Amino acid sequence: MDIAQLLKDWFESEKAEVDPSLLAYVLLYSTKNVTGLTELTSHLASYWKEGDLSRRTKCIELLAQVVTPSQSYLDSPTNNAIIQFVGERLSNSVLVPRCIDIYLVLMSTNIISTTDVIQICNALFSNIKVKKLPQQSRYKILSILGKALEKYSSEIQRSKINFIGGFINCMDGEKDPRNLMLAFELVRSIIDRFDISRHIEDLFDVVFCYFPISFAAPPANDPLSITTEDLKDSLRRCLASTPYFAYYATPLLIEKLMTTTGSAKKDAMETISLCTPAYGAHAILPHAQELFDALVREVYQCAESTMVDVALETIHNVVATLGTGISIANIRDPVEKAIDSLLQHCVQELKEPELKNARSAAYILRAAASASDPACTSVTHTALPIIYQQYKSTDPSIRQKAILDILTELLLASKQLYGSVEDVGYDRDFQTPLLMYKQQIIQIFILSLNESDPADLILRQTSLKGIHEMVLMKQFLKGEEVNLVINHLTSQLMADDKQLGQQALTTLGVITKLYPTPLAQLTFPVLLKELPCSENAMTIPTTYRYALDAIQLLAVTPAVFKIIVNPLLKKLDYACGTIGKKEALVNSVKTYTIYLGKENTIYAHEVASTILHIYKEASTKEPEVLTIGQKVLLPSLLLKCIPAAMGVPGSWYLDDSLIETFAMVVAITTRLSSPSDQQLSVNDAFKLFVDREFSNVPFSFDQQYIQNNTLGIFDTNKASRVYD
C-alpha cells in the first residue's frame, strides 16, 4: 500500500490519534526518500483544503510527530517546505501550539538557512497572538527567539525584520517566572548584540514594569525551583546591561528608594548599586545629592543590619562611579563637590565619637574611602586630624574604644582599596594617603594597648585589632616600625587573657611570612624562655603549652625554621634527658645540669611533636630546610636515640611515642631527599642495623667522632654544633 492510500484511510477514519503503524510507515517513507517530507507536506496540504477542524488538526499533529524524529534527515529544501506549510496555517489558535513545536524542532537543527530563520521569526511576530497561548508555548517561542539570537544575530540585524519590536510584543505582559527568566536573558542578549538606540525607551519600559518583582514560592516539586531572588537578580542585570537605560532608570530607582519600604527598598538599593557602574559618572552626577541623602538616612536610621549593609555597599559603588569622573575635565569640580558633600556631615559626627551616629558615620566614611583614590584622600585628610585630636589616653575607655573603632574602619578602607599583603597578584600604583599620618596612627594604637587599665580587656582587644589591620596593609610598616609592633605583640603573647594572646599570635602569624628575621630575633627568645632547660629550675611552667603552640604557628616559614631549630633541639635534649645531676666546671665555677627524663613524658612528647610539625611544614617550602634536616636535625636525633636504644647510661629517655615522632622526621627527610642521598641513608642504616657496625656511633655526645666517620647519617661534626 502506498503512502497516499494510507493517509487517505487515516484521514477518512474517525481516529483522532496517529496510529503507531501509520507513523512508522510515514517515517520510513520520509527518511528513505530524499523528497519524502516535502511530498508529505503536499499530501497534507490537500487534506487541509478540503477538511474541517478535525482533519486540519490531524495534519499538524502528524507533521509534528514526523518532524521530531526526522531531524537528522532534514535539509534546506525540506525545511523551507515545512516552514511554508506551517506559516500559512497559523490562523487557527487551537493548532498554533503544535506549529510552534515544529518551528522549535527546525530551529534546533544545524542546517536551517538564514532565510528560513527570518521567515520563522516573522511568522511568530506577525501571525501569532502570543499572550493568548499557554505557558509552555510562550516559553517555546522565547526559546526559538533565543536560538535565532545565538546563531543568526548579524543576519537578523541586516534583514528588514523588526526583531526588537517583535520580541517586545512577545515579552509584554508575561507573568510566568519560568518565561520571565528566559525573557530577561534574551533582553541582555539583544542589548549585547543589537543596536538598540531606536528602541531604548520601549525596551526599558517592557523591563522596568516588573520592578520590584516578586512571586509566590514555587512548589517543592518544581524542577526549575525559581526563586524571587533569581528573578530579582536577572531583572537587575537587565537594568544594568546598558548605559542607555540610565536616563530612564535613575530617577525611577531613586523614587522607589525614597517611597518604598522593606524588601522593595532593599531591591531598589541593590539595583542602584549594580547599575551605577554601568551608567557612569555623567548619568549619576545630577542625582548624586538625592542618592546620598537617601542612602545616608538609611545608614543612620535603619535598625536592620542587612539594610544598612546594602546602603553602605550602594554608597561605595556610587562614590566609585563618581570617582571615575575626576579625570573628566568638564565634570571634575561637581564630582568633587558631590563627594565632599557626603563626607562633611559624617566628619562632623566624629567630634562625638562615643555616640551612635559617629559609628554610623565611620561606616559611611569607610564605604566612601574604599571606593576610589580621590575619595580616600579626601576622607583621610579631613577625618584623620580630627580623630587624632580627639584621642587622649586619659579619656574614659568607652571613648577611646570608639576612636579606635573609627580609625580601624579607615584602615580597613585603605586595605580594601590599595591592597593587603595577603592579596596575590593585586598591585596598584597608588599609595595610601594614610602614610602621611602613620606615626600618629601607630602612636594611638600602641598607647591604648600599653597605657590602658590592664583589666580593660575590650580596649586592648580593640587596639590589637587595629594593629592587625596595619600589619595587613601593603607597604605600610617599615623597618623599626615593624620591630616596634613585634615587640608590643610579643609582650601580649603570654597575657592572662587568652583572647589577647590569640589576637597577638594571629598578627604575628602574618608578620612571620613578611619579616621572619626580626620576628625570630624578637619573639622566639620570649617563647623559648617558657620552655625549661638546664639553666632553669626543673619545674615546667604552666605556660609551656601555649609557647609550643605559638612556635608551631610561627616557625613553619623556612627563614624562621633555620633560626629556631637549634634552640629547639637543645630544649628537646633537656626534655628527654635522664633525671640526675652532672657536675661540670665552667669558668672555674661548679655547675649542675638537671634533666627531666621520663618524669615529664608529656612535655617531652610535645616538644618532639613541635619539631616534627615545623619541619614537616617548612621542608616543603624551601630546599635549604631539607639540607638542615639532613645535616643537623636527623644526625642529632640519631646520635641521641641509638645510645638510648642500647641502654647506655645517661642517654635519652625513649618511649614508643617519641620513637614514632622521630621516625616521622626520618621518613620526611628520606622522602624529600635525592635518590643518591636516599641510597646513602639506606647503606648507613644497613651497616648499623644489619651488620651492627657501631664503631662510628658515639655513646657520649661530648666525645668527638670526626676521624673515620664513614656513616653519612652520623655527621657529628655538624650535629654537635646544635648544642654548642
Taking each helix axis from N to C end, the angle separating 76-87 and 53-67, rounded to the nearest 10 degrees, works out to: 150
User: pLDDT at position 685, please?
Assistant: 78
Through-space distance between the first and last CA atoms of the chain, rounded to whole angstroms: 108
Say which range, 59-73, 430-444, 529-543, 658-672, has the weakest mean pLDDT. Answer: 529-543
DSSP 8-state assignment for residue 72: G
- The residue among 524, 555, 713, 533 whose CA lies nearest residue 630 is 713
User: pLDDT at position 253, please?
Assistant: 96
Long-range interactions of 47-50: CB distance < 8 A, separation 24+: 47/7, 47/11, 48/89
Q: What is the pLDDT of residues 240-266, one digit of tens each?
A: 999 999 999 999 999 999 998 899 999
Given a cut of 60, is residue 717 above it in pLDDT? no
For residues 513-528, average pLDDT = 93
For residues 379-385, average pLDDT = 93
Q: What is the pLDDT of residues 214-229, one digit of tens each?
A: 877 666 676 767 888 9
User: pLDDT at position 578, please?
Assistant: 63
Given a contact cutoff of 8 angstroms between Cβ atoms, the answer to whether 591 and 654 are in contact is no
Instruction: Identify which of 450-459, 462-471, 562-571 has the greatest average pLDDT.
Output: 462-471
**387 — pLDDT class (breaks 50, 70, 90):** very high
For residues 565-577, average pLDDT = 90
**What is the Cα–Cα distance from 30 to 486, expressed in whole angstroms?**
84
Q: What is the pLDDT of residues 610-666, one digit of tens each?
A: 999 999 999 988 889 999 998 899 889 988 888 888 777 778 888 899 999 999 999
Q: What is the pLDDT of residues 285-298, one digit of tens each?
A: 999 999 999 999 99
**What is the Cα–Cα distance from 554 to 508, expressed in whole angstroms?**
7
Q: Which cell is 472 given?
A: 595587613
**What is the Cα–Cα distance from 367 to 298, expressed in whole angstroms?**
14
Of 644 and 66, which is predicted with more confidence? Answer: 66
**423 — pLDDT class (breaks 50, 70, 90):** confident
- The residue among 112, 189, 104, 88 whose CA lies nearest residue 138 is 104
Given a cut of 90, is residue 379 above it in pLDDT? yes
DSSP string, 26-40: HHHHHHHSTTHHHHH
Element (H, E) at 289: helix 288-301
DSSP 8-state assignment for residue 197: T
The dihedrals phi and psi of 591, each to the nearest 5 degrees, come to -125, 165
User: pLDDT at position 538, please?
Assistant: 57
Say which range, 121-125, 339-343, 537-541, has the weakest mean pLDDT. Answer: 537-541
Given a cut of 60, is residue 546 above it in pLDDT? yes
Given a cut of 60, is residue 326 above it in pLDDT? yes
- The vertex-65 CA angle with 63 and 71, nearest 5°, equals 90
- The residue among 336, 431, 419, 332 whose CA lies nearest residue 375 is 336
Q: Which cell is 502 given?
A: 590569640
Long-range interactions of 574-579: CB distance < 8 A, separation 24+: 574/532, 574/533, 574/534, 575/532, 575/600, 575/603, 575/604, 575/607, 575/608, 576/604, 576/608, 576/640, 576/644, 576/652, 576/653, 576/654, 576/658, 577/652, 577/653, 578/649, 578/650, 578/651, 578/652, 578/653
Given a cut of 70, is residue 579 above it in pLDDT? no
Calculate the average pLDDT of the chain.
87
Helix, strand or coil for residue 395?
Answer: coil
Q: Which cell is 112 given?
A: 536551517
User: pLDDT at position 218, please?
Assistant: 65
Cβ-based neighbours of 148, under 8 Å, separated by 6 or more: 107, 117, 120, 121, 156, 163
